[in-house]
A and B are shown apart, each in its own frame.
Chain A
Amino acid sequence: MSQTREELTLELKKHIVEYLNLLDIKPEEIKDNEPLFGPELGLDSIDSVEMIVLLDREYGIKINNPTEGRTILVDVNTIVDYILANKK
């Protein structure tokens, strides 16, 4: 059975918490449209690289460099959109 968008979104949030080792944050607490690199979550350049690895390992999606990544890694919604469009 294929995954719904909601299921994929929650799964992605779980991966984000795991890969970035976000202490004290539950996956469901991350808002879908919250800017990842904004003041709330406060991610930085190393996290953007970690996210690129996450997308490769979990979804088979290759992003070649952080510049390309910047348009995709805006918030959970934009990443889910990209996964749905490109997942192998």
Chain B
Amino acid sequence: MSRVVVTGIGVVSAIGNDVASNHAQLKRCESGIGKAKHFTSKYVDSLNFAEVKLSNEELKTKLNLTGKKGISRTALLAILAFKEAIHQAGLSQEEIKSYRTGFISSSTVGGMCNTDELYADANLKGTPSEYVGAYGGGEHTLRIIEQFGIKGFTSTINTACSSSANAIMLGSRLIKSGRLDRVIVGGADSLAKYTVNGFNALMILSSNPCKPFDNQRDGLTLGEGAGYLVLERADLSEDKEHLAEVLGYGNANDAFHPSATSDEAFGPCLAMERALESAQITSSQVDYINAHGTGTPNNDVTEMFAFHKTFGTIPPYNSTKSYTGHTLAASGAIESIFSILSMQSNELYPSLNCVDPISTYNTTPIQSLTEADLNIVMSNSFGFGGNCTSVIFSKAARCL
């Protein structure tokens, strides 16, 4: 069966507008969480956010889309990261427009970041806004398809916080099935009153920067961003650098509660077990886990339990949400990219804000920048609706 490799990555988040700057800030162990400057909401003074530093106008300028109407911030972030990924992968026009090239994106907010306009349009107040056609979760996908001329299989996934991890999984499976030769996978989400107020209504937002795995943690910090990976068949991309190989993946449903994980962490355990099985490795071969680690009381304790049950001896782990906040649908892709950067550099980045770690299993998250020989890494994403997905990457068998 074909092997699937990563030939390009693109990311924009609170810690950088491209891969290099994200990586640099990870190495500096500096969080991107702070006060929002562009996002408007009653909560911008009282809450912290992990906002992308570019305004919508700056994004449009960067993308040569100045003056274009009706493009949501989600779509702008998506296009920026998408462009970086395909550029790194060196995809030609012919390859992008080939029927054998697919695109799978994801978003939870989609165009609903334009909350005020959505309210007006949905209630038929005033003249229709420029965003009338842009609210759907799949609209940013269409924007990219149209702009880049993608003809192959396309899809948009929404399984809340595990969405782009599922995109990576589906893309890999499509290549292995022989239906596609390459597929760009990932997701995007932007800060929106909708999600801020939704999480706030559930009382799972922290008023401080999130503290994943800390005993004093009291909620998550919302972030925004986009991440895309170009996946290709290994044997058809031998002339390119392979950043990593997609070794395995697993998807499971916790089947317990719409917005909380079971104490027994059925979903997380099954997702990780299925990923290990699909990768045909044992748990002891995993060198590092990029945890879902949102910083909510429920997630972190259940995820730790899942680590203990799945691994026994828990490998080094962190939550890079302490850098980027929770980027919702984009988190699977962004955190997979960070896992790959970690692996390429043989470096482990500390989990920030963890001063009083949960110590139930005699282990703490990574405390400081550490060199390590990393060959196989895992990235976890667990979402509302019980959707749990785990993806495993390995160093590519061959690097240029």
Spell out A's residues near B (CB within 8 Å): 44-46, 49, 52-53, 65-66
Contact = CB atoms under 8 A, between A and B. Distances in A.
Interface of B: 201-203, 257-260
A45 B201 contact: no
Contacts, number: 13
A66 B203 contact: yes
Contact of B257 (A44, A49, A52): A44
A49 B201 contact: yes
Contacts of A44: 257
A44 B260 CA distance: 11
B256 to A, nearest CB: 11
Contacts of B260: 45
A65 B200 CA distance: 11
Contact of B258 (A46, A52, A65, A66): A46
B142 to A, nearest CB: 34
Contacts of A66: 203
A46 B260 CA distance: 10
B203 A46 contact: no
A49 B199 CA distance: 12
A84 B286 CA distance: 58
Nearest to A65: B203
Residue from the set A44, A45, A53 with the largest chain B CB neighbour count within 10 Å: A45
Query: Which of A44, A46, A53 has most B Cβ within 10 Å?
Result: A46
A52 B200 CA distance: 13
A45 B203 CA distance: 10
A57 to B, nearest CB: 13
13 contacts: A44-B257, A45-B257, A45-B260, A46-B202, A46-B258, A46-B259, A49-B201, A49-B202, A49-B203, A52-B203, A53-B201, A65-B203, A66-B203
Contacts of B257: 44-45
B161 to A, nearest CB: 18
Nearest to B260: A45
Contacts of A65: 203
A49 B201 CA distance: 7
Contacts of B203: 49, 52, 65-66
Nearest to B259: A46
A35 to B, nearest CB: 20
Q: Which of B202, B203, B259 has the largest number of chain A CB atoms within 10 A?
A: B203
Contacts of B202: 46, 49
Nearest to A50: B201
A46 B199 CA distance: 12
Contacts of B201: 49, 53
A48 B90 CA distance: 53
B57 to A, nearest CB: 37
A33 to B, nearest CB: 27
A19 B367 CA distance: 45
A85 to B, nearest CB: 23
Contacts of B259: 46
A49 B203 CA distance: 8
A15 to B, nearest CB: 17
A50 to B, nearest CB: 9
Top 8 A-B pairs, shortest CB-CB distance: A49-B203, A65-B203, A66-B203, A49-B202, A49-B201, A45-B260, A46-B259, A46-B258
A49 B258 CA distance: 14
